[in-house]
Amino acid sequence: PTSQAPARSDGFTDIGSVADLAESGSLRYQDAKGNGILVVQQSDTPEDVQAFSSVCTHQGCNVSWKAKDKDIFCACHGSRFATDGKVTEGPAETPLQQYLTKVEDNRILIKM
C-alpha cells in the first residue's frame, strides 16, 4: 500500500496498523517525494517496529525483509542489513537510512 496520509502536527505520519504489519511481516510505503520505506517487525512484540529506506546503499535496488533470518536483504548483489540498518554483508558499505518510529493506539507512526 502506498496511500498518502498527511503528516501530523508532531511530524509523524500514520502508515498503517500494527495488525497489518504483524500479518505480513513487513509493509512498504512511499514518502511524499516517492522514496521507498520498508517497515518491519523484528520480534513478536507488536510495538517492535523499525522503518528503513528501502533503497539499497550499494546501487539503489529495493531491499526486502527476510522474516526467517530477521534481516534485510538486497537481491541485486546480496547485501544484508541488520535491524539497526547496519551492513552485515557487502558489497554495501553504508547503513540503511532509518526513520524514527513509534506505535500509538495500534497505529504505526513514522517521522519522515
User: Which among 39, 37, 5, 6 is positioned nearest to 22, based on CA atoms?
Assistant: 39
Contacting residue, 15, 21, 38, 58, with ligand FES by CB under 6 A: 58
What minimum distance in Å lies between the beta carbon of 1 and ligand FES? 24
**According to the binding rule CB under 6 A, does residue 38 interact with ligand FES?**
no
Contact 57, 33 (CB under 8 A): no
Residues 82-101 contacting ligand FES, CB under 6 A: 91-92
Stretch that binds ligand FES, among 4-12, 31-39, 43-51, 52-60 (CB under 6 A): 52-60
User: Which among 93, 94, 73 is positioned nearest to 83, based on CA atoms?
Assistant: 73
Contacting residue, 15, 27, 49, 56, with ligand FES by CB under 6 A: 56
Q: All 3 cell numbers of residue 92?
A: 554495501
Separation of alpha carbons 71 and 102, rounded Å: 20
Binding residues vs ligand FES (CB under 6 A): 56, 58-61, 74, 76-79, 91-92
